[in-house]
Amino acid sequence: MLTQIEDAAAYLKLDICLQEVAQLSVSNNYSDEQIRAIAELLTYIKDKKQETIVATLKRMSRLPLKEPKTFKGFDFSRINGKNVDALKNLSTLSAIYAHKNLAFIGPQGVGKTHLAMAYGQECCNRGLKTYFLKATELNQRLTDARKYGRESSVINGMVKPSCLIIDEVGRCVFDKENTRMFFDIIDRRYNKEGPNTMIFTSNKGPDKWGEFFSEDSSLLCALDRIFDDATVFMIKGNSYRGRNLETVTVSAGAPSALPKADV
C-alpha cells in the first residue's frame, strides 16, 4: 500500500517519496485501514486525472468521438496471409516507441483509415498526443499558413504530436512551396525525441507519391526520412463498405381505373 501511495503521488507530481510516506505512517501510528484509505484516495484522484487527460487528448486529436475506430472493432477475420500477426500486434504500440513509421496502402474500403485511427485511439489511451488529418486538409493548411505568414506555427503544430496521421495521400497535389513545407515537417519529426511515429494511408504505393508533390528534391528527402525505418502494410481485397447493404426490389402494376363519378 505504501508503494501504491508513492506511485500515485509521483503521477500527481506530489513532492513526497516512499521514505516520507513510511515515516509519516509511523509518526502518526496509522493503522492498515488508514493507510489503505489514503492509498485508495490518491489512486482515485490519479485515475480521474488520467481519464481527464485521455478525454482531452481524444478531443484534440480530431479522431471520431461518437463512433471511435478501435482495434477491437476491426474485423481481422477478413485479413489473410502469413503477416496477419504483424497487423494484429499494432495495438502494442511498439512502432511509436521504436520511432517506426507506418503506412497502410490499398484500395478503398479495406480498412486503411480504420487501422490508422485505431492506432491513434490507442495512443490517446496511453497518454500520447495524437493528431489526425487528411492530406487535402494538410495541403490547405500549408497554403493558408503561407498566405497569412504562419508557416512556423503550422509546422510546429504538426511536429508536436507523438503520433501524426495523414490520411488519403494522393487525393490532392502539393505545389512546390507546400512540398517543401511538407519536407520540413517530416525532417523535424525525423529528429524528434520521445515516442514518435507518422502514419500514412493511401490508395497509391509510395513509388507513385511523386505524382502528388511538385518538388522532386524535397519529396525525395521526405520519402527517405519517412521510409528510413517504417512498416508498409499492402492490403488487398474487396471493400468492406456495403457489406450490410440490403436491396429491396418491388414492382408496381398498371394503375387501377378511377371510379366514375355519379351524375
Predicted confidence at residue 134, as pLDDT, reads 98
- Same domain, yes or no: 98 and 7: no
CATH number at residue 226: 3.40.50.300
Look up residue 110 and give its three cell numbers: 479495406
Instruction: Choose among 188, 170, 185, 177: nearest CA to 214.
Output: 177
According to DSSP, the residues that pair with 102 across neighbouring strands are 199, 231
Q: What is the pLDDT of residue 82?
A: 79
Residues lower than pLDDT 70 in the chain? 238-263
Whether pTM > 0.85 for this model: the answer is no
Cα–Cα nearest to 124, from 31, 53, 64: 53
For Cα atoms 42, 43, 49, give the angle at the middle one, nearest 5 degrees.
Answer: 90
For residue 240, being part of any structural domain is answered with: no
pLDDT of 80: 81
pLDDT of residue 58: 97
Look at residue 123 in the predicted model and tell me its pLDDT: 98
Whether 162 is covered by a domain: the verdict is yes
Examine residue 97 and state whether it is found in any structural domain, yes or no.
Answer: yes
Judgement on whether residues 230 and 118 belong to the same structural domain of the protein: yes
Same domain, 85 and 171: yes
- The per-residue pLDDT for 109 is 87
pLDDT value for 158: 97
- Could you tell me how far CA 238 lies from the centroid of its own chain? 24
Q: Do 81 and 7 reside in the same domain of the chain?
A: no
Q: Are residues 224 and 145 in the same domain?
A: yes
Residue 194 lies in a domain: yes
Decide: 142 and 240 in contact? Cβ < 8 Å.
no
Q: Note the pLDDT tens digit of each residue in 136-160.
A: 999 999 999 999 999 999 999 999 9
Does 32 fall in a domain? yes
Q: Cα separation of 202 and 166, whole Å?
A: 9
Picking from 195, 111, 179, 131, the residue whose alpha carbon sits closest to that of residue 187 is 179
What residues make up the domain containing 152?
Answer: 76-234
- Tell me, yes or no, whether 108 and 229 share the same domain: yes
In a domain, 253, yes or no: no
Looking at the domain assignment, is residue 205 inside a domain? Answer: yes
128 and 195 inside one domain: yes
Total domains present in the chain: 2
| Co-location of 134 and 210 in the same domain | yes
Q: Are 229 and 100 in contact (CB under 8 A)?
A: yes
Which spans in the chain are helix H?
Answer: 2-11, 18-27, 32-61, 84-88, 94-97, 112-125, 135-148, 151-159, 176-190, 216-226
Backbone phi, then psi, for 151, in 5-degree steps? -55, -50
Residue 198 lies in a domain: yes
Residues forming a β-bridge with 231: 102
